[in-house]
Amino acid sequence: MGLRAHYYQTQYKLLKSEAVMKTVYKRLNLEVVPEYAGVYGYRRLMGPIAIAPVPRSRLVYVKVDAFDPLMAARIANMVANVFIEQNLSNQLFISKDVLNALQIERSGNQSRAIYESLPAVVNNVLIQQLKQEAAKLQAQLAEASGHYTTKHPQVVALTANLQALQNQIKEETDKVIQSLKIDLSGQLVGNNIRLIDAAVPPLSPIKPRKQFNMMLSIVGGLILGLFAAVLVEFIDQTVRTQEDVENKLGLPFLGVVPLTTFPKKQVAYNHLLLQEHSLIAESIRNLRTMVDFAEVAQKSKSFMVTSSVQGEGKSYVAGNLAVAIAQTGEKVLIIDGDLRRSTMHKVFRVSNAKGLSDFLAGGRSMEDAKALIQESDVKGLSVLVGGPRPPNPAELLNTPRLEAFVNWATQEYDRVIVDCPPMFPISDALLWGKCIPGCVYVVNFGKTRVPLIKTATKRMAAASIKILGTIVNMSKFGGLSYSYYGYYQYKYNYHYGYNYAPDEPEKPETPEPTDTPETPVTKTEASKELV
């Protein structure tokens, strides 16, 4: 950047200097204007004022933003006028002092000393050369005076030459002083800055630019929306679609179960019992078909249902699949394989006084197991509940009685479905996998993280459990009339953890004489939790 560019940049800064702002603020009496009132109100002028140089010229625009168009024009004009005045004053500041010093009459020697000390005289090349020659002559004259008298020809000649040089220095000094006086006198009436066009009040507001802002908002919203969608898709580590199941998990996809709610008095599979069609019923029937396809290569048409953690709806899916398969005419047995927190008796509203835990703890024959199986209100569907919670569930599931019972059940029934505990934090599902190697895996829509699912499936693969397919449960289809199908508010309590709270003692249930039996509502049944 050259010297001229530096000079212009300095002038642009001076246009918005506090000295200029203070003068403008005072002359326009802006302290009474609310927009600029307050302590250091003149500083509020710096923001609305913009200095815009005109490219390839020495012109500059002074722009002012204000709510009052007349006030904007007045401020712009005042800034320009004050800057011009201050620029002229700055130029004349030194010139006036020097000119006044030159014009004051003093004694000859005092005036001559002032003249010779001026920068214009000191820096004059001719005067510098003359002074150097005079200095040499003075040295020669001093040397000659030491050897000869004042009347000696050599001394007289040197004295005459020195006097001539001094007279010449005086004449050149007077010329420089006279030229300096003329220059300073001309600067008193001149200025290198002038106002070209005065500011006038605008006819229309310049802000806000409504059309531009609307277009910018639309374009910005689209860009931000696309960016947000890409970012969410990139960082989302959950499962939502068939592509997620196949690409992120590398597992077969069976189907989707929408999110829905149920009234308190309805059973979880009520939609399958109704005559009219519904989205949730169709999704369950589609799952039934996909499970049949997945079991083509299986020797036994039996499978277990599990998930990664609690709250993903595996019991709901298992119960509905059992009802849907039974409606095709097959003889189905659904087993509550969770001895720690039984749930299936709540789904089908049957007694949990005795169940699988009783047989595994002390059953002597299959007749004992058969006596524990209860019939549901769905034709062809039988239920074996978990029974009272034992102190050692894992040990019971690891006994030979479990394998013997499963072998007997697969011969007595067309289809055996086991509602197993989740994979975390316990490993009971792996014990069931020794008897039933086929598994339907349930994933919570948009909640269960992919790394957790992969860890669970690796454990199952290590235990030689084949995953028949994955079901995405509680899916949300935004914008449709069935947006919130699911069972999130179904009235069952189902919790997993490393420490379990003791169950409340249950009273033995007796068959109800009515067509629509209702289970007594306990504290666990009244809470709004997932199955």
Whole-angstrom distance, CA of residue 408 vs CA of residue 369: 10
Closest CA to 531 of 489, 502, 476: 489
Q: Exposure string (b/e) for 58-82, b if CB count within 10 Å is 16 or more? A: eebebebebeebebbbbbbbbbbeb
Q: Would you state the pLDDT for residue 296?
A: 78
Q: Which CATH number fits the domain that encloses residue 419? A: 3.40.50.300
What end-to-end distance do the CA atoms of the chain give, in Å? 75
Q: Contact at 8 Å (CB) between 509 and 351?
A: yes
Q: How many domains does the chain have?
A: 1
Q: Which DSSP state fits 32?
A: G
Q: Rounded distance, CA 93 to CA 339, Å?
A: 101
- Record the tokens describing residue 99, joined without a space: 């000119």
- Three-state secondary-structure class, residue 282: helix
Kind of pairing between the strands at 381-384 and 374-375: antiparallel
Whether residue 41 is contained in a domain is answered as no
Closest listed residue to residue 350, CA positions, set 524, 509, 514, 495? 509
As a three-state string, the secondary structure of 47-102 is CCEEEEECCCCCCEEEEECCCCHHHHHHHHHHHHHHHHHHHHHHHHHHHHHHHHHH
Q: Is residue 28 part of a domain?
A: no
Residue 444, pLDDT score: 94
Contacts of the segment 25-28: beta carbons below 8 A, 24+ positions apart = 27/78, 27/82, 28/74, 28/75, 28/78
Instruction: Please name which of 361, 359, 384, 386 lies closest in space to residue 373, comparing C-alpha atoms.
Output: 384
pLDDT of res. 2:
66
Q: Return phi, psi of residue 253, to 5°.
A: -110, 130
- ∠ CA(163), CA(166), CA(167), 5° rounding? 85
Amino acid at 268: A
Residue keyed to tokens 């008095």? 265
Asked if the structure places residue 434 within a domain, the reply is: yes
Q: What is the pLDDT of residue 176?
A: 80
Full 3-state SS string of 134-200: HHHHHHHHHHHHCCCCCCCHHHHHHHHHHHHHHHHHHHHHHHHHHHHHHHHHHHCCCCCCCCCCCCC
Please tell me the predicted confidence (pLDDT) of residue 483: 36
Residue 334 and residue 419: Cα distance in Å, rounded?
7
CB–CB of 417/303 below 8 Å? yes
Provide block-wise average pLDDT over 10 residues at a time, the chain (531 residues). Answer: 76 88 90 86 87 88 89 90 81 56 56 72 84 88 86 86 88 80 59 78 79 90 89 82 92 92 81 85 93 81 92 94 95 95 92 94 90 94 94 91 93 95 91 92 93 94 93 73 35 33 42 36 32 28
Q: Is 368 helix (H, G, I), strand (E, B) or coil?
A: helix
192's CB contacts (< 8 A; 6+ apart) are 87, 91
Is 127 within a domain? no
3-state SS string for 225-265? HHHHHHHHHHHCCECCCHHHHHHHHCCCEEEEEECCCCCCC
Domain range holding 517? 239-497+507-526
Is residue 379 a part of any domain in this protein?
A: yes
Q: Which residues pair with 255 in a beta bridge?
A: 471
Q: Which DSSP letter does residue 43 get? A: G
DSSP β-ladder status, 303-307 and 438-444: parallel
